[in-house]
Structure 1
């Protein structure tokens, strides 16, 4: 337990962290990777270059300081980060390394303002927070390894099949190289893929949502090729998977992880909203719903640029044809002439509240949504405007969490 003096000292740094948090975390990562370049095998290099990881860590440090006397408030975020750490293979012995360089960055950025009392308080607080993470992650590693078909770290899987789903999204069907059983999972979870790309010094690890139902003899991930936006660096792993990985190749996978999962105790109508490649966890949820809750009404709404960018459409429509409780609706921002002639979409432009209400007549139900950040913000604001309670709004970010406000 932290002393009252330590708690008050940490709380006194909240305004400073609000102003200097990102500067501290940028310096922290510089110090960390300079002293321990081997950790570059674990961290997402793209998120580092774009500043997303630094911002995410700054937000986490700020929240920890703000709620240092009520850490249970941030426990959901802690568990979300712990899932990611477990899927990356983060180890307890790495926490002291992180603590050393985080405190060093605080001292360097704040200068004389970082008094001995402040640094001592943060050292004590970090020890408590790290022990919470280590405890949660230890349980996660144990549960992952002991579950039927489970394993602890990374396991080799063979690429059994590759399907091109759209101009930019491809599915990879993965089966265990040892031909043993594989762990089941809750729809919405992801796996980490670890690859050694030829010519790259460090391994790269990325998380991809599982896009099929549990209970299959394979895992399926559906990956967007991230090299179409000239303002954003190309995604090394996604391009490698699309350009170089072939059927028969081996990829190393973590066991399924993540806390964005379908509430299986809820029997109310459910609406699944997705944008772009954000449909992957929704398709997994859809497969699961029609087999385990066949009487539950499901509305599947997807936004895409056009039919050429719309992945897994025919698979979803086949499910809807076979299960009358499922309704689907497509929203295209830039439909092609072919899309128009085939009446391949239900709305042109963007999802808005009147159209959503025409498809889903009541807020009495649960809403799951996933996609690019602008899509997420727009959908969240629509649901708030409609009066959907916070507890019924479930979402996941791809990459480090950002604010939806």
Structure 2
């Protein structure tokens, strides 16, 4: 890109800040009208709740703001790249997206979209597409060049279906071809896709792998969403009601950047989860206990509405019995239980500060956005450094902390 083109991109930053969602909403409508086959790739639930439009608007704005040095966005590029490989996004998709994005800029900005500005944005997008697709090819190479590895969609068979609570069911997924599965980092997710008759579409969804790594199977633990007719809940309700042991579905290889960092953070681990947010943390905890890390304290903090919807409570107790360094704190909003270390109310880290604020600890938070924000801010106020706090927000990312 030329210096003049970069300045033109920077000049659009104020417009993107104010009208970015309007632009991305127009873009998606345009793209799905002209290329309806892409509806099979995109999560239409995130389209209906506007999360995808907001996430894309934030990403376009960030790129425009850092057009002079896109390298500062590499952590974001890595995270998005993992999500794209989990959806089997390829360079041909970037070409389609670029065509509709540039056209949308022209249509939304009207007379302000001069030929020079559109040319600058075309150059900027080509630079970004090259950066993203190049990084994603490296991720695909890592996925395929390992024991049990693959890229794209692979058939799996459900060999076990286990109800963990009133809301959450686990699915044990084995390769249909009888081969091995690739190893993954605790905390990563897989994508699955199912055909939804209600939408007449294939639809992908990401689910955290909820067990320690092995070469035989993946386990996902799925919460039944309360609105089965909403696009957000169609997959989870279909899995609960219509998908049975012996059925097949397709998966992509494990991906994701929210992972257990054992080497960088060898001290105590504090896991903080809300609801089904405990699933990636289960994989982390099982992995730690299986390796007999008995020297470092582990604090498990989980909040949910009641004992009836509390998945894995027996498994957590079992892991605590195996490793006496595991301390458990469970918060129930509605019902006080006889469970050891149970608390009534929402998760409150201040109540259990002595098991939370540990020297050289690493913190892993997963749950709804307000849950993450609340506990992230508490830890920062208590002096915990940013690099010691790791979090994952389910769905398109919207949280940013500094």
TM over 0.5: yes
Matches within 5 A, 1:190-229: 190-198=189-197, 200-227=199-226
CA–CA distance in 1 between the matches of 2:381 and 2:149?
A: 42
Q: Using the TM superposition, give the Cα deviation of residue 344 of structure 1 relative to its aligned residue in structure 2, in angstroms.
A: 5.6
**What residue is the counterpart of 1:365 in the other structure?**
361
**What residue is the counterpart of 2:333 in the other structure?**
333
SS in 1 for 2:246: coil
Q: Using the TM superposition, give the Cα deviation of residue 380 of structure 1 relative to its aligned residue in structure 2, in angstroms.
A: 1.2
| CA deviation map 1:166-218 (0-9, x unaligned) | 11100000111111111000000000001123454210100000000002521
Q: Using the TM superposition, give the Cα deviation of residue 360 of structure 1 relative to its aligned residue in structure 2, in angstroms.
A: 2.1
Match of 2:237 among 236, 239, 245: 239
**What residue is the counterpart of 2:298 in the other structure?**
298
Matches within 5 A, 1:52-91: 52-91=51-90
**What residue is the counterpart of 1:374 in the other structure?**
370
Q: Using the TM superposition, give the Cα deviation of residue 334 of structure 1 relative to its aligned residue in structure 2, in angstroms.
A: 1.4
User: Residues 55 and 397 of structure 2 are in contact (CA less than 8 Å); yes or no, is this contact kept in structure 1?
Assistant: yes
Taking a change above 3 Å as real, the CA distance of residues 81 and 241 of structure 1, as seen in their structure-2 partners, is same
**What residue is the counterpart of 1:107 in the other structure?**
106
Taking a change above 3 Å as real, the CA distance of residues 52 and 288 of structure 1, as seen in their structure-2 partners, is same
**What residue is the counterpart of 2:135 in the other structure?**
136
Structure 2 residue runs without a partner (length 5+): none
User: Residues 377 and 404 of structure 1 are in contact (CA less than 8 Å); yes or no, is this contact kept in structure 2?
Assistant: no
Which deviates more, 349-358 or 142-151?
A: 349-358
Match of 1:264 among 239, 262, 265: 262
CA–CA distance in 2 between the matches of 1:302 and 1:363?
A: 21
CA–CA distance in 1 between the matches of 2:189 and 2:207?
A: 5
Taking a change above 3 Å as real, the CA distance of residues 50 and 361 of structure 1, as seen in their structure-2 partners, is closer
| CA deviation map 1:259-303 (0-9, x unaligned) | 111112021101010000000000000011112333222111001
Q: Using the TM superposition, give the Cα deviation of residue 359 of structure 1 relative to its aligned residue in structure 2, in angstroms.
A: 2.0
Taking a change above 3 Å as real, the CA distance of residues 262 and 195 of structure 1, as seen in their structure-2 partners, is same
| CA deviation map 1:292-345 (0-9, x unaligned) | 33322211100111101111111011000110111111011112xxx43x2465
SS in 2 for 1:195: strand
**What residue is the counterpart of 1:98 in the other structure?**
97
**What residue is the counterpart of 1:4 in the other structure?**
3
Q: Using the TM superposition, give the Cα deviation of residue 8 of structure 1 relative to its aligned residue in structure 2, in angstroms.
A: 1.2
User: Residues 302 and 347 of structure 2 are in contact (CA less than 8 Å); yes or no, is this contact kept in structure 1?
Assistant: no
SS in 2 for 1:308: helix
User: Residues 46 and 232 of structure 2 are in contact (CA less than 8 Å); yes or no, is this contact kept in structure 1?
Assistant: no
**What residue is the counterpart of 1:401 in the other structure?**
397
CA–CA distance in 1 between the matches of 2:15 and 2:146?
A: 44
Which deviates more, 288-297 or 168-177?
A: 288-297
CA–CA distance in 1 between the matches of 2:352 and 2:55?
A: 31
Aligned pair count reads: 399
Q: Using the TM superposition, give the Cα deviation of residue 21 of structure 1 relative to its aligned residue in structure 2, in angstroms.
A: 0.3
Taking a change above 3 Å as real, the CA distance of residues 277 and 241 of structure 1, as seen in their structure-2 partners, is same
Taking a change above 3 Å as real, the CA distance of residues 363 and 69 of structure 1, as seen in their structure-2 partners, is farther
Taking a change above 3 Å as real, the CA distance of residues 353 and 198 of structure 1, as seen in their structure-2 partners, is closer
SS in 2 for 1:69: coil
Taking a change above 3 Å as real, the CA distance of residues 45 and 286 of structure 1, as seen in their structure-2 partners, is same
Q: Using the TM superposition, give the Cα deviation of residue 364 of structure 1 relative to its aligned residue in structure 2, in angstroms.
A: 2.5
CA–CA distance in 1 between the matches of 2:371 and 2:122?
A: 39
CA–CA distance in 1 between the matches of 2:359 and 2:7?
A: 42
CA–CA distance in 2 between the matches of 1:30 and 1:393?
A: 37
CA–CA distance in 2 between the matches of 1:309 and 1:55?
A: 31
CA–CA distance in 2 between the matches of 1:297 and 1:120?
A: 56
SS in 2 for 1:235: helix
Taking a change above 3 Å as real, the CA distance of residues 247 and 124 of structure 1, as seen in their structure-2 partners, is same
**What residue is the counterpart of 1:392 in the other structure?**
388
Question: RMSD in angstroms over aligned alpha carbons?
Answer: 1.6
